[in-house]
Amino acid sequence: MTGDVHDRIRDYWDRDSDTYDETRSHAISDPLEAAAWRQALADALPGPGSKVLDVGAGTGALSLLAAELGYEVTALDLSTGMLGRAELKAKERGVDERMRFVVGSGTEPPDGPFDAVMERHVLWTLPDPVGALARWHEVSKRLVLFEGVWGEAAARFRLVAENTDPRSSR
């Protein structure tokens, strides 16, 4: 990623870090939503105590839940503002001993090995998602991707894709 694009992305998230958690579902502060995410993490990640890299950790929503479940979490984010919020929340929740905070690009993960690499709504934002996946796979053989489909056109595409059997002759 060129320096200019890298800098603009970092600056955007640094500016957004003050209000990011105020947007619905960003902080996963609703108890029911948090319970659902805890279950999703427990189902997708290896056992507690495993080393997990959270790419694009932001203010730490998934990182904190994973640490609360007993994982050793490395929270990676390009934005120092976002990671500063995550670190503060980790101290408040008493899970900072199970967390490490690394400022850096999602396309350049820290050296592993990790038992799993996870991300939430990050892959689609990267300039080279295929390259990022390859680099994540170098540091862990287990990738846990939480991505979404937004907008009416995307929902129509998803509906068509889910109802199309590639083996049929339709």
Q: How many helices (H) and strands (E) does the chain have?
A: 6, 5
Question: Is residue 141 one of the residues assigned to a domain?
Answer: yes
3-class SS of residue 30: coil
Residue 107: DSSP 8-state: T
> For residue 100, what are the CA distances in angstroms to 8, 57, 70?
25, 11, 14
Is it the case that residue 15 has pLDDT exceeding 70? yes
Q: What is the pLDDT of residue 143?
A: 96
83 and 57 Cβ atoms separated by less than 8 Å: yes
Residue with tokens 């640490």: 67
pTM of the full predicted structure? 0.80
Measured CA to CA, the distance from residue 168 to residue 20 in angstroms comes to 45
Phi/psi region, residue 56 (left: phi>0; alpha: psi -120 to 50; beta: rest), is left
Q: What is the pLDDT of residue 43?
A: 95
Question: Is residue 106 one of the residues assigned to a domain?
Answer: yes
Of 51 and 165, the structure prediction assigns the larger pLDDT to 51
Question: Is residue 168 one of the residues assigned to a domain?
Answer: no
Question: Is residue 129 one of the residues assigned to a domain?
Answer: yes
First to last CA, the chain: 41
Question: Is residue 154 one of the residues assigned to a domain?
Answer: yes
- What mean pLDDT do residues 57-70 have? 96
* Weakest-pLDDT range from 7-11, 33-37, 57-61, 78-82: 7-11
Angle at CA of residue 99, ends 80 and 115, nearest 5° = 110
pLDDT band at 154 (very low <50, low <70, confident <90, very high): low
Can you give the residue range of the structural domain that contains 93?
Answer: 3-162
| Mean pLDDT value across the chain | 84
- What mean pLDDT do residues 109-128 have? 92
Supply the CATH number for residue 94's domain: 3.40.50.150
Q: How many domains does the chain have?
A: 1
Cα torsion through 19, 24, 28, 29, rounded to 10: 80
91 and 119 Cβ atoms separated by less than 8 Å: no
Question: Is residue 169 one of the residues assigned to a domain?
Answer: no
Q: What is the pLDDT of residue 4?
A: 81
DSSP string for residues in 9-61: HHHHHHHHTTTGGGSTTTS--SHHHHHHHHHHHHHHS-STT-EEEEET-TT-H
Q: What is the pLDDT of residue 56?
A: 94
Structure tokens at 117: 């690499």
Question: Is residue 47 one of the residues assigned to a domain?
Answer: yes
